[in-house]
Amino acid sequence: MTVPRILAAHDSMVLLVDMQAGLLPAIDASEALVARVHRLLSAARALNVPVIATEHCADKIGATDPRLAELAEKVLHKVHFDAMREADTLSQLPVGRHNVLVVGTEAHVCVLQTALGLALAGLTPWLVADGIGSRRESDRAAALQRWLQGGGNIVTSEMAMFEWLGSARNPAFRDVLALIKSSDETIVSDAHHSFVSESQ
């Protein structure tokens, strides 16, 4: 997991872990987290990077936040904290996308355990430092520290977007740059209005 590398859009995917309606209100600074994750998922869509979501015990915790769910290609249901322990998770991931950017909640439980499971499965997981959250910031920080001490890869959402782009000549450059420059408040507001309009 420690081999230096630059991300590329063609071999990356994003795994959106358990950003569900019943859990997010308890997460520290959840609206800012949703905004940052929404920005990353929007860039992923612009650059043809697949996004897969997981939902933990959705019958009790609810579905993925609709602002994010609209950007996911499919949802995988789970009862294990490590999504890779579900029998069909690996087979449901896109083929050839060995760099897996992990975002979601909670950082110290399902996110960390799933990232460890991805590594054990032979994939290369990256924790997106500004795209994961916990109820307590201390737990999020501990998850990142443990991940780093184990030799794991960390990236920020902006690092990922620029690495996916590779060049200012990328056809999606202007669209992704606009996402990078947008504020958290604008992202959340636009996503909310878009969801409301589509649901009416």
Residues with Cβ within 8 Å of residue 191, at least 6 apart in sequence = 34, 35, 38, 67
Q: Is residue 4 part of a domain?
A: no
Q: Is residue 86 part of a domain?
A: yes
Q: What is the CATH number of the domain that holds 146?
A: 3.40.50.850
Residue burial 166-194, b: 16+ Cβ < 10 Å; e: rest = eeeebebbeebbebeeeebeebbeebeee
pLDDT at 187: 54
Q: Is residue 40 part of a domain?
A: yes
Q: Is residue 41 part of a domain?
A: yes
Q: Are strands 51-56 and 12-17 parallel, antiparallel or unpaired?
A: parallel
Q: What is the pLDDT along the chain (200 residues), one digit of tens a residue?
A: 455 689 999 999 999 999 999 999 999 999 999 999 999 999 999 999 999 999 999 999 999 999 999 999 999 999 999 999 999 999 999 999 999 999 999 999 999 999 999 999 999 999 999 999 999 999 999 999 999 999 999 999 999 999 999 999 999 999 999 999 986 655 555 555 554 455 55
Residue 180: closest CA among 192, 168, 197: 168
Count of the separate structural domains present in the chain: 1
* Enclosing domain of residue 14: 9-199
pLDDT at 5: 84
Q: Is residue 3 part of a domain?
A: no
